[in-house]
Structure 1
Amino acid sequence: MQDTPKGSRLHIAIFGRRNAGKSSLINALTNQDIALVSNIPGTTTDPVYKAMEILPVGPVMIIDTAGIDDVGELGALRVEKTMQVLNKTDLAVVVIEPAAGLTEYEQNIVSEVQKRKIPLVGVINKIDQFNVSVDLIKKWNEGLGLNLLPISAKTRQGIEELKRLIITSAPEEWEGTPIIGDLIDPGDTVVLVVPIDLAAPKGRLILPQVQTIRDILDHDACSVVVKERELKEALENLHRKPRLVVTDSQEFLKVAADTPDDVLLTSFSILMARHKGDLETLTAGARAIDKLKPHDKVLIAEGCTHHRQADDIGRVKIPRWLRQTVGGELEFDWVSGGSFPSDLSQYQLIVHCGACMLNRREMLYRLSVAREKQVPIVNYGLLIAHVHGILRRALSPFPLAQMLLDE
């Protein structure tokens, strides 16, 4: 991959009524004609994503949404999709169109954004077409509790100021905990065990592996990458023991057997559980596996829509391991990509992927829904370690998570 992945970008979503100029604003922000612009209301029907850079924030994902005032049966579905974008929004921009003024639509979306504690920027667009007085801006500011910025997406008036406002409003902790950097010191050696699947394209590693290598280098440590069959020899050839061994979860048993007990061990998936979500919540979900009974219902959620192999981890291996653990049949449902059900009451367990293709806010949202419905949720790596009886060992870099296993 040559570009920053979607899940590692600050997600900035643009909200407003139809024809408020949301798509024009995205074109102005990106300095490209990437969003379809028309005077016909409802031109944008589905969320549209555009990757760009806003320095010094860095890589961002701009999301264009359908109008929050869309009408009709299809319009209601579009509004629902627009509201779902909030689940992944790190920073919201609400656009007001002067001709219609401040309406309940803007008030409702601002209220929802503020309720979710999402940083918010408000703009008044089309000032090249409408004379917006200082008194009117003050009135709207008071009505929304914002400091609205007058702009023209068409003439680019105020766009640079808007970019500066986005920079200063962006949340500082949106990326979360480093993948591995806070677990190592400069000069440490980390051994990464990377099995090469026969179906894997030449010259390519999976995203969590690449991101872990980069984080190790960013923290001035040394990364040694081997396949599972070469791990034992690689450890013997090192002049000193590595700080940490990180493996693909599916090779946990062999890697655990070859790694000395005094060397910390975990998996890429468990690192992602902490980086993208909440390791303690997902560890508690691993404990719930032992409470499953035959015929219980399990949801398996994947953040991407990858091409599935014959022995796919989510469709084949995990269901097989869970059936073996339970000693009977289970019912499984699968969702992938951006799909995640709001009604989780029918499930006794949720099994989630490492979420490398989701941004952190969306993963935290999914965890919050599971907690609210009191449905245990675990991720692939934690589940695999648990069913193979080495979860405590796999959590050795994380003492707090280990303590949860004793409660």
Structure 2
Amino acid sequence: MSLNDTPRAMRLHIGLFGRRNSGKSSLVNALTGQNVATVSPVPGTTTDPVYKAMEIHGIGPVVFIDTAGFDDVGSLGGLRVSRTKDAAKETDIALVLFHQEEAGEKRAAEDDFAEEFCWLQSLQKRQIPVIPVVSRTDEMEDGGRALAKCIFEGTKISPVCISSKTGAGIEKLRAEIARQLPEDYQARSITGEVCQSGGHVLLVMPQDIQAPKGRLILPQVQTLRELLDRKCLVSCCTTDCLPGMLASFVRPPELVITDSQAFREVHALLPKGSKLTSFSVLFAAYKGDAAFFAASARQLLELPADAHILIAEACTHKPLQEDIGRVKLPRLLRRNLGKSIEITVCSGHDFPENLSSFDMVIHCGACMFNRAYVMSRAAACRRQNIPMTNYGMAIAALLGILDDVRIPGVQ
């Protein structure tokens, strides 16, 4: 990925779902204009989800997710279907493909597509915009009209009929994707209302061993880029240089954004009139449910002495010395809540379905996940009545400074 590329987690995720050989991979190739997905008449060619990033005029950066068929069979097939279900959790817009092999005069019936209708309904229950697609219409004598009528009767949604081979309907499908964009998609902002355009913002960015040599970590880069786009006056320093940086200003900055690990030091030096937040807190609001996370953080100090806490990391990096999720945060939790608490750490997509054994979930800033995926985890916690917060808010609560931290959409 070059410095000018949009990270995958910041792109609109468009998931393709359907049976094996329904034309998902061919449609990805047609939409991207490239042969990025392997196409074969052999059912089950696509195993793990395939991600392809591109730009769509009028929409911007997107990533298509080509999934395995949800009718896959066998032990491996079950694993593939499980990964397809995981892909649904990070989907912003879903395309559900319907295809009927020629069967003489047989009329398309809802019973023939029970799995497609079931998946469509399950995606809708997640509040995911769904576009039914009649695929491979070049292989149907009526161009897919009978199947399209069947879909409309079953869903009250007019499907888009396409042929990846001839290109028919592809532009119409692109237009429908643009029409189905989430209402807040274009307006979403990392810094939100915590700073004004053109304001002076100070970024405190400690470069510890977790940061790649010669580079900034992703949340710092993304926040810096947005502030520059908003014409803010941006100053940057590491924690040890903060006193000298503040002394050099004629007027204090309107906002100070710090790494959450430096909350204690930065809060102690915060000039009067400056607002304080952290990269992790900003991303909690940008990617997740800020109000739920903030309310959950306030419950941290009320947990029982034998509480079981799940720490969820988005990254699957090899833990290093003084790792925040595995060393620093657990140490702070035990210092404030007692040594009897139990802590479990999960990483990547390895997030438990059953959360009943936990008293609290603390999630990282999720710079590697898109908002849909973080919100799916928040929804799972809500369903099971488990409080969920994130690193930044948890650290601020444990330090007793949460009320002094600006949270977009909350305070």
Alignment of structure 1 residues 9-158 onto 2, 5 Å = 9-99=11-101, 102-132=112-142, 134-158=145-169
Percent of paired sites with the same residue: 45
313-322 or 385-394, larger mean C-alpha shift: 385-394
Q: Which runs of 5+ in 2 are unaligned?
A: 103-107
**2: CA distance, partners of 1:96 / 1:139:** 10
Aligned to 1:271: 282
Aligned partner of 1:355: which letter? A
TM-score (norm 2): 0.92
Aligned to 1:248: 259
Among 138, 160, 171, the alignment partner of 1:160 is: 171
SS where residue 78 of structure 1 aligns? helix
**2: CA distance, partners of 1:341 / 1:174:** 28
259-268 or 194-203, larger mean C-alpha shift: 194-203
Aligned to 1:288: 299
230-239 or 378-387, larger mean C-alpha shift: 230-239
206-215 or 167-176, larger mean C-alpha shift: 167-176
1:119-151 superposed Cα distances (whole Å, 9 cap, x missing partner): 111221112222235344323321232212221
Is contact 1:302–1:335 with CA below 8 Å preserved after alignment?
yes
> How many residues are matched?
400
**1: CA distance, partners of 2:86 / 2:45:** 19
**2: CA distance, partners of 1:198 / 1:115:** 42
Aligned to 1:361: 372
Q: Which runs of 5+ in 1 are unaligned?
A: 402-407
**2: CA distance, partners of 1:127 / 1:79:** 26
1:352-407 superposed Cα distances (whole Å, 9 cap, x missing partner): 00111111111111111111111111110111112222222223x66945xxxxxx
**1: CA distance, partners of 2:382 / 2:187:** 20
Among 353, 359, 384, the alignment partner of 1:348 is: 359
Aligned partner of 1:60: which letter? V
**2: CA distance, partners of 1:287 / 1:184:** 24
Offset at residue 182 of structure 1 (A): 2.6
Aligned partner of 1:220: which letter? K
Please report the RMSD computed on the Cα atoms of aligned residues, expressed in angstroms: 1.9
Is contact 2:14–2:62 with CA below 8 Å preserved after alignment?
yes
Aligned to 1:404: none
Aligned partner of 1:260: which letter? P
Aligned partner of 1:360: which letter? R
Offset at residue 117 of structure 1 (A): 2.1
Aligned partner of 2:289: which letter? D
**2: CA distance, partners of 1:7 / 1:355:** 9
**1: CA distance, partners of 2:404 / 2:76:** 51
